[in-house]
């Protein structure tokens, strides 16, 4: 029985067609598995940072290249990986999806959705490792980034493209300052990236809820590597978040990125390095721990025309106010300044607990509005003198009238810097409250009355348009007549508020 014509033609084509070229596939074997890492043999051609696929479905990244073995950081649960199982190369380095599709989403360190809203739909991927832009591709920091916090915008200003460290002991409000800075971008075009590294799930959920309630979720990307995730994901997360930010900056957008926090990132890197038997150094950290953070933060900056900026707010935790510990000193030397949150001020109920004596902004002053700059110098001097006198007055010595007035003025200025969380204040209202405090409008008031008086001043300045916001935005100086108008409005608001309170 002869085959039909269609089948015959198919057989003829198969017989006459050239044989397919052989496909070479390298298959390795797992030699050892530890908590978060694996030792793989048999993949002599693997590349650094290449993604490997294990037979169990777990992915890993090549970390150490040695002649007869690979040190691989696992990006999934190590319990699923067994010695002897197959490992295959993928031929691609580790990367993440980037683009506008990520805005409003919560993703993990590999760009996989964590918010239950389905696939991202992003097609563009970028490697998470990239060279920092060269000097010629950068510009000086010259534009301010308003955080909405009086203590920071007036005394420790941050500019677009700056790297400003947020440092302090646990429970001093570091995350709260970063979240408030994100919420204050509601009326700007700044895109925000929040990277949670090794945080508890409930803490991350609280941050996501605050950003959503503040109306900034649609312009934010949340990158999460929780404390329950593999340490490899905690190590990868900040580089992935920076890659997402770089894609926005390449489109000409300004980006604010928060790394919360790099202490946990350093601990994850130390854990992986020790498991892979890298030689330990100071505090058991590997010798390249400085480079790990430097190559990340150097990718931030104000870039040339056609590109935007990346403003980085890395967070680091100290122990017992020890600023000279290894990781904090490394990050202080890498960044352009630090916002130090003091437990001493927390115990005095001073929030945000920014210690202006230790905090500094090495480049933000160039970007600060001129009107703020005129107030900031007197603010620091007044507070430093007040703290010296306050310590002296505790000895119970008799004080003259001038000293008592300086103590009252300092207490009022410190009280004026208090601010509840999730309440960023517009620049004009900030300046009005600080001017009023420096001129003695709040002298002698207790905490509750001072808070009510400041709220009255804010309301009055919001209703009476003195042109403060326009002058601040234009970088103009604060003229004497305008200054007097603002102080007069503040005094009138406080008198009216005081009458209402007494009634």
Residue 79, both tokens: 């319990």
What six digits make up the tokens of 148? Answer: 């909405």
pLDDT in tens, 318-341: 999 999 999 999 999 999 999 999
Which of 69, 139, 362, 449 is the catalytic position?
362
C-alpha angle 151/425/309, rounded to 5°? 80
Return the domain boundaries, the chain: 27-92, 97-367, 372-502
Q: Percent of the chain at pLDDT above 70? A: 96
Using DSSP, state whether 100 is helix, strand or coil.
helix
Q: What is the pLDDT of residue 13?
A: 79
Identify which has the larger pLDDT, 257 or 371. 257
SS3 content of the chain, % helix, strand, coil (to 5): 45, 20, 40
Over 50: is that where the pLDDT of 502 sits?
A: no
CATH (one of 3.30.1360.40, 1.10.1530.10, 3.40.50.300, 3.40.50.970) for 97-367: 3.40.50.300
pLDDT digits (tens, 9 = 90+) for 138-183: 999 999 999 999 999 999 999 999 999 999 999 999 999 999 999 9
Burial readout 403-422 (b: 16 or more C-beta within 10 A, e: otherwise) = eeebbbbbbbbbbbbbbebe
Residues 162, 190: contact at Cβ < 8 Å?
Answer: no
pLDDT computed for residue 434 by the predictor: 94
- Classified as helix, coil or strand, 159 is strand
pLDDT at residue 344 greater than cutoff 70 = yes
Range 27-92 classified under CATH 3.40.30.10:
no
Q: Is 20 a residue whose pLDDT tops 80?
A: no
Two tokens at 257? 């990125």
The answer to whether residue 27 scores a pLDDT higher than 80 is: yes
pLDDT tens-place string over residues 107-141: 999 999 999 999 998 779 999 999 999 999 999 99
- Is 471 considered catalytic here? no
Alpha helices in 368-467 (DSSP H): 370-393, 401-416, 427-438, 447-463
Q: How much is the pLDDT for 62?
A: 97
Bridge partner list, 312: 163, 257
430-445 residue pLDDT tens: 999 999 999 999 998 9
Tokens representing residue 108 in the block: 């993990």
Strands 301-303 and 309-317: antiparallel
Q: Which residues partner with 64 through β-bridges? A: 71
Residue 396: the pLDDT is 62
List the CATH code of the domain at 372-502: 1.20.150.20
Q: Enumerate residues 6+ apart whose C-beta is below 8 A from 38.
A: 30, 31, 32, 54, 60, 72, 74, 78, 81
């Amino acid at each position: 029985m002869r085959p039909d014509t269609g089948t015959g033609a198919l057989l003829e084509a198969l017989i006459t067609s050239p044989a397919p070229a052989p496909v070479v596939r390298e298959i390795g074997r797992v030699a050892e598995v530890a908590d978060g890492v694996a030792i793989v043999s048999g993949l002599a051609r693997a590349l650094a940072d290449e993604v490997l696929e294990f037979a169990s479905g777990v992915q890993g990244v090549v970390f150490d290249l040695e002649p007869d073995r690979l040190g691989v950081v696992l990006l999934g649960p190590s319990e699923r990986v067994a010695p002897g199982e197959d490992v295959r190369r993928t031929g691609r380095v580790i990367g993440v999806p980037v683009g506008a599709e990520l805005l409003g989403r919560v993703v993990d360190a590999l760009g996989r959705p964590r918010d239950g809203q389905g696939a991202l739909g992003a097609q563009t991927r970028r490697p998470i490792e990239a060279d920092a832009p060269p000097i010629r591709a950068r510009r000086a920091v010259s534009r301010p980034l308003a955080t909405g916090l009086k203590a920071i915008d007036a005394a420790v200003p941050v500019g677009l493209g700056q790297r400003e460290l947020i440092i302090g002991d646990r429970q001093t409000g570091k995350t709260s300052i970063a979240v408030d800075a994100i919420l204050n971008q509601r009326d700007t075009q700044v895109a925000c990236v929040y990277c949670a590294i090794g945080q508890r799930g409930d803490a991350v959920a609280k941050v996501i809820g605050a950003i959503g309630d503040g109306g900034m979720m649609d312009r934010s990307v949340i990158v999460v590597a929780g404390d329950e995730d593999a340490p490899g994901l905690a190590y990868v997360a900040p580089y992935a978040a920076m890659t997402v930010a770089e894609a926005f900056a390449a489109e000409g957008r300004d980006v604010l990125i928060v790394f919360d926090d790099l202490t946990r990132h350093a601990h994850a890197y130390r854990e992986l390095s020790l498991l892979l038997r890298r030689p330990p150094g100071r505090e058991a950290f590997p010798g390249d721990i400085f480079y790990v953070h430097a190559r990340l933060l150097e990718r931030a900056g104000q870039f040339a025309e056609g590109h935007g900026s990346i403003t980085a707010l890395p967070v680091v935790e100290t122990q017992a106010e020890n600023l000279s510990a290894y990781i904090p000193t490394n990050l202080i030397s890498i960044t352009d300044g630090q916002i130090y949150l003091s437990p001493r001020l927390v115990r005095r109920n001073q929030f945000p607990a920014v210690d202006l004596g230790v905090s500094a902004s090495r480049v933000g002053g160039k970007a600060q509005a001129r009107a703020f700059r005129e107030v900031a110098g007197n603010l620091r001097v007044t507070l430093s003198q007040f703290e010296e006198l306050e310590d002296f007055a505790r000895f119970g010595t008799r004080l003259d009238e001038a000293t008592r007035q300086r103590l009252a003025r300092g207490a009022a200025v410190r009280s004026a810097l208090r601010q509840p969380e999730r309440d960023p204040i517009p620049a004009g209202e900030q300046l009005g409250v600080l001017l009023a405090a420096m001129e003695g409008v709040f002298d002698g008031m207790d905490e509750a009355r001072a808070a009510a008086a400041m709220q009255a001043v804010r309301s009055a300045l919001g209703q009476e348009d003195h042109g403060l916001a326009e002058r601040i935005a234009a970088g103009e100086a604060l003229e004497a007549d305008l200054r007097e108008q603002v102080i007069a409005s503040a005094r009138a608001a406080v008198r009216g508020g005081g009458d209402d309170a007494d009634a």
